[in-house]
Amino acid sequence: MVQVSFELSEDVLSSVRKDPESFTREFRLAAAVKWYEIGLVSQSRATEIAGLSRAAFIDALGQFQVSAFQYDIDEIAEEVDRE
């Protein structure tokens, strides 16, 4: 396993009113949701990044107003043509 670390000023944590553990947890989730939203990672990989179960990650997607279903227009057209 790889460990990633970076430095932030205490002002950053206090401005978002988070302790380091909460900040890290929310940062991982935000990154996972965004990377999933733009198609950079699969839902499975995003759950791993976020450190959540799939069900919890899908719930989080709803909180971020991101669809759990990631299809582009070509994939939708293929589905319609198959019907």
Task: Compute the distance between CA of residue 52 and CA of residue 44 in angstroms, rounded to an integer.
Answer: 10
Pairwise CA distance, residues 36 & 32, whole Å: 6
pLDDT at 35: 97
Instruction: Identify the pLDDT of residue 60.
Output: 97
State how far the alpha carbon of 41 is from the alpha carbons of 8, 14, 16, 35, 50, in Å: 26, 30, 27, 6, 12
The reported pLDDT for the residue numbered 74 is 78
Q: Provide the pLDDT for residue 33.
A: 98
Residue-wise pLDDT for 3-34, tens only, equals 988 898 889 888 989 899 999 999 999 999 99
